[in-house]
Amino acid sequence: MISKEIIQKNLKNCLDDTSFLKLPGFKKDKVRNTYDLGDSLILITTDRQSAFDRVLANIPFKGQVLNQISAFWFENTADIVKNHVIKIPDPNVTIGKKCKVFPVEFVMRAYLTGSTDTSAWIQYENGNRDICGNILPDGMKKNQKFNEPILTPTTKSDAHDVSISADQIVNKGLIDKNTWEKLEKIVFALFKRGTEIADKNGLILVDTKYELGIDDKGEIHLIDEIHTPDSSRYWIKETFESRIAAGMEPDNIDKEFLRLWFKEHCDPYKDKILPPAPDDLVIELSYRYIRLFEMITGNDFSIDSKQSVNDRLKNNLIAYAI
């Protein structure tokens, strides 16, 4: 496990801006910078920490953690579905095949939980028993496990994702019935594999989202990311039963404490300039991401201590520069 002292020494060694790379077809998202090579994409996962629709801080090694967790899962699910990975030339980078993305995010849930207005638990608490076509029984409690995992798709939108049922997806012509049935089978198999591996490593995979697309030959590919802490909810397996029995929330390793700090010290939705995140909180969050990497994958996390992340990236991507 990387020590907090090492993380502290790397507080300024974070990947934020990648304009120094001089690569074609630049697009910037909240966390990822993408470059278009024509038939493939350079996907660079930065260290930016996003919340409230803005960047709160840069977290050392976060981008490496996310990219390498995805790499682990892509490798461990390749027998279920093809994926977009062509090459991983750098710990923060995936070269991926360009695919036509299905207009739906595939959200899998194993537990009745969540705190946002669109979460399964809040909908259920408000009396809704039909969650994206999944009819739930009365009498369920927060954080209760479903008899079987459920699929709760959402439409993809830059503004706000909207829940939708399988029947609606087919009836609206978003995805044809035969293709939908193939996709449904794939995501249930992916979630089963994720659940099994997480369980072996002391974690509960609570829920997650998948994105899928088709390549120029019409073959289905898993794209984007898979089973990362940013796209998934994990709970600690060892303490789950005792905490539920005591009426407590399950143990997790998440970033909520950083969000709460900003809510307490400013208005992150309205203030033009945010206060800098305290170093101790940044270090703690980096430490949690690294711990999750090691728990999820069962592997030790290693870093390059001989060069900065920017220099390493430049050296590893020199072949793609224009």
> pLDDT value at position 11?
97
CATH of 4-99+255-320, one of 3.30.200.20, 3.30.420.40, 3.40.120.10, 3.30.505.10: 3.30.200.20
Query: Is the domain defined by 101-213+226-245 classed in CATH 3.40.47.10?
Result: no
| 158 burial type by CB count under 10 A (0-12 exposed, 13-18 middle, 19+ buried) | exposed
pLDDT above 80: residue 157: no
pLDDT above 70: residue 195: yes
- As a whole-number percent, the residues of the chain with pLDDT over 90 amount to 90
Is the distance from CB of 202 to CB of 238 less than 8 angstroms? yes
Nearest-10 crossing angle of helices 279-297, 62-76: 10
Q: Which residue(s) pair with 145 in the sheet?
A: 111
**Phi and psi angles of residue 64, each rounded to the nearest 5 degrees, phi first:** -65, -45
> pLDDT value at position 156?
79
The closest of 69, 96, 300 to 205, measured between CA atoms, is: 69
> pLDDT value at position 119?
87
HSE-CB at 51 with a 13 A cutoff on CA atoms is 20
> pLDDT value at position 116?
76
> pLDDT value at position 159?
60
> pLDDT value at position 160?
67
| Backbone conformation region of residue 103, classed left if phi is above 0, alpha if psi is from -120 to 50, else beta | alpha
Is the distance from CB of 170 to CB of 176 less than 8 angstroms? yes
CA 316 distance to own-chain centroid = 24
Q: Where are the domains of the chain?
A: 4-99+255-320, 101-213+226-245
> pLDDT value at position 49?
95
Weakest mean pLDDT among 3-12, 193-202, 252-261:
252-261
Weakest mean pLDDT among 44-48, 107-111, 230-234, 307-311:
230-234
Mean pLDDT of the chain: 95
CA 84 distance to own-chain centroid = 16
Give the model's confidence band at 254: pLDDT under 50 very low, under 70 low, under 90 confident, else very high: confident
| Residue bearing the bigger pLDDT, 119 or 240 | 240
| Backbone conformation region of residue 173, classed left if phi is above 0, alpha if psi is from -120 to 50, else beta | left
Give the model's confidence band at 321: pLDDT under 50 very low, under 70 low, under 90 confident, else very high: confident
| Average pLDDT for 204-211 | 97
